[in-house]
């Protein structure tokens, strides 16, 4: 009898231990899974923030844009870069720090576009609000996680961003006018204006680096009438044209002078006209 009790006791203890160990293991697995989920969500959020703020200079798929920004789509290359500039910490901290504080002094003039000869040219503006940029520290961390775990955007997402979808019930504009608008919307998308400027009539135009361009046609007249205006335009059309080809002659109050300076050389006269006419109607 005594022996049976001892045997039962041993069995119960062993079973108990196994159950406890099993629960503990599962708990660990649950925690790990939850951590994975949180990480995945943060990476996804970083991808969206990247698409909204960074692709103008670094490309939709972080493949880089000649003259504007280097590629960021290769972890090994970024690790190499961190070493080159003498960064003592991890790749993650290099990313967070570079994005937050920007790159006030260029390390590679080939990415300064037309500004290489300008001694005050800034390579990349700061992004964290701690340095006067538009993003919160948590946003920067999520973008760094995204770049560290880089994966290309799926083609559907790119197509969705690049193709304007007309609003339901919207009147189709006159033929000639529709062509000009389509050209302008294409340019606004491809040249990355939408990464820095919000504009209700262009899908995906949600940038916050520059002013929203809604109502610009009406606003332009009062801007040039303002004594604070430092440019040369005398009509709203001229103002919009000047803002695109020569953004530094007048810098809108409250914004940094970071709009790319090369659009004047990049655009044909017809393309520039299409953009100006389109923006006049906003
Ligand atoms: C106005 C153009 C511009 C925008 C917009 C921009 N960058 Fe940059 N970025 C640059 C340039 C130019 C460099 C290279 C600077 C250099 O080499 O000195 C750079 C460098 C970097 C680097 C360092 C890469 C390396 O090779 O050392 C990182 C990381 C980076 N950018 C991330 C971002 C992120 C994230 C965003 C969006 C929040 C962003 N950038 C938006 C222009 C831009
Ligand atoms: C890297 C960010 C960036 C990109 C890309 C960019 N802009 Fe800008 N833009 C700005 C900023 C910042 C300002 C405000 C400061 C200034 O006046 O230069 C501005 C100002 C303007 C203004 C004057 C707005 C006003 O309220 O008076 C116009 C018009 C304009 N941009 C059009 C464009 C067009 C069109 C494109 C694409 C061909 C473009 N921008 C691309 C950042 C950008």
Of 246 and 150, the structure prediction assigns the larger pLDDT to 246
Relative to the alpha carbon of 73, which ligand is closest?
Answer: 1
Index of the ligand 2 atom closest to the CA of residue 240:
29
**Is the distance from CB of 281 to CB of 236 less than 8 angstroms?**
no
Relative to the alpha carbon of 240, which ligand is closest?
Answer: 2
Count of C-beta atoms within a 10 Å radius of residue 138: 10
Find the mean pLDDT for residues 9-34. Answer: 79
What is the per-residue pLDDT across 206-232, written as a single tens digit (0 to 9) for each?
Answer: 778 889 999 999 999 999 999 999 999
Of 152 and 129, the structure prediction assigns the larger pLDDT to 129
Ligand 2 lined by 255 (C-beta under 6 Å) = yes
Ligand 2 lined by 46 (C-beta under 6 Å) = no
Ligand 1 lined by 208 (C-beta under 6 Å) = no
Name the nearest CA neighbour of 209 among 49, 22, 53: 53
Integer-rounded Cα Rg, in Å, for the chain is: 27
Of 223 and 158, the structure prediction assigns the larger pLDDT to 223
Ligand 1 lined by 93 (C-beta under 6 Å) = no
Relative to the alpha carbon of 188, which ligand is closest?
Answer: 2
Which range of 28-37, 155-164, 239-248, 254-263 scores highest in mean pLDDT? It is: 239-248
**Is the distance from CB of 236 to CB of 220 less than 8 angstroms?**
yes
What is the per-residue pLDDT across 44-70, written as a single tens digit (0 to 9) for each?
Answer: 899 989 988 898 888 888 988 877 889
Ligand 1 centroid – CA 265 distance (Å): 22
Ligand 2 lined by 6 (C-beta under 6 Å) = no
Ligand 1 lined by 188 (C-beta under 6 Å) = no
Backbone angles phi, psi at 218, to 5 degrees: -80, -35
Residue closest via CA to ligand 2's atom 32 equals 244
Residue closest via CA to ligand 1's atom 26 equals 81
d(CA 270, CA 267): 8
Whether residue 199 has pLDDT greater than 70: yes
């Amino acid at each position: 009898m005594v022996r049976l009790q001892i045997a039962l006791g041993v069995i119960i203890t062993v079973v108990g231990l196994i159950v406890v160990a099993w629960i503990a293991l599962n708990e660990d697995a649950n925690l790990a899974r939850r951590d994975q989920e949180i990480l995945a969500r943060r990476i996804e959020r970083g991808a969206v923030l990247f698409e909204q703020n960074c692709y103008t200079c670094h490309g939709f798929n972080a493949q880089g844009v000649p003259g504007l920004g280097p590629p960021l789509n290769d972890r090994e290359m970024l690790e190499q870069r961190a070493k080159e500039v003498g960064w003592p910490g991890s790749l993650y901290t290099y990313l967070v720090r570079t994005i937050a504080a920007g790159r006030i002094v260029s390390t590679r003039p080939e990415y300064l576009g037309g500004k290489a000869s300008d001694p005050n040219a800034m390579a990349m503006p700061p992004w964290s609000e701690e340095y006067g940029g538009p993003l919160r520290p948590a946003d920067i961390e999520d973008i760094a996680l995204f770049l560290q775990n880089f994966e290309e955007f799926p083609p559907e997402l790119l197509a969705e961003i690049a193709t304007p979808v007309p609003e339901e019930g919207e009147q189709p504009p006159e033929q000639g006018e529709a062509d000009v608008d389509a050209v302008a919307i294409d340019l606004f998308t491809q040249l990355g204006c939408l990464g820095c400027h919000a504009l209700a009539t262009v899908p995906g135009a949600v940038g916050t680096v520059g002013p929203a361009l809604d109502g610009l046609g009406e606003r332009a007249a009062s801007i040039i009438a303002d004594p604070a205006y430092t440019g040369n335009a005398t009509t709203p059309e001229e103002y919009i044209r000047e803002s695109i080809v020569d953004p530094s002659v007048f810098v809108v109050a409250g914004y940094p002078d970071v709009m790319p300076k090369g659009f004047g050389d990049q655009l044909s006269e017809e393309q520039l006209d299409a953009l100006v006419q389109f923006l006049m109607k906003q």
